[in-house]
Amino acid sequence: MLTLVEDPAYRREMKRMRNLQEQRHGLGRKVFHGRRGAVYRAYHDGMEDQLGVLGLVLNCVTLWNTIYLDHALANLREQGYPVCDADAGRLSVYQHAHLNVHGHYSFVLPDLAGGRRPLRNPDQASSA
């Protein structure tokens, strides 16, 4: 407790960790929208299964975002844009504006050249 009071760097790190948790919870609310983000008692007490699946989906989205953030940063560096490591370190893998949690989904793997979808051009208008 004294370290929290006396060490400003420790307080900043604690705040950063709290913000990361809040971002992860925000992603969880977006993914788990069907019951307004609430875990409910299902037939045969399926609450543990719901939480397990939610954790799996959050980990998948986090991995997807990590891969594509890394790809986007590498692409920017290849094009000669100055990308500071300190700035890149502040990017969050818990962004979720690009997620579509409504609609129909296909689980057939597409044939992706290079193993990834192409990055969007930020100068072009969004089709969403």
DSSP 68-118: HHHHHHHHHHHTT----HHHHTT--TT--TT---SS----SPP--GGGSPP
Q: In angstroms, rounded to a whole number, what is the distance separating the alpha carbons of residues 18 and 14? A: 6
User: How do the domains of the chain map onto residue ranges?
Assistant: 2-105
Q: What residue has token string 């700035």?
A: 87
Dihedral over Cα of 78, 80, 81, 84: its sign: positive
Q: Dihedral (C-alpha) 128, 54, 12, 7: value to the nearest 10 degrees?
A: 180
- Helix-strand-coil percent breakdown of the chain, rounded to 5? 55, 0, 45
CA distances from 48 to 31, 33, 38, 43, 123 (A): 16, 17, 13, 12, 44
Between CA 66 and CA 43 the distance in angstroms is 36
pLDDT, position 77: 93
Each residue's pLDDT expressed in tens, for the chain with a length of 128 residues: 667 667 778 777 777 777 878 888 888 888 876 555 555 555 555 666 666 778 888 888 899 899 989 999 999 999 999 999 888 888 888 888 888 777 676 777 777 777 777 788 877 766 55
Instruction: Write out the two tokens for 36.
Output: 């307004």
Residue type, 88: A
94 with 23: CB under 8 angstroms? yes
Say whether pTM exceeds 0.85: no
Give the pLDDT of residue 80.
Answer: 93
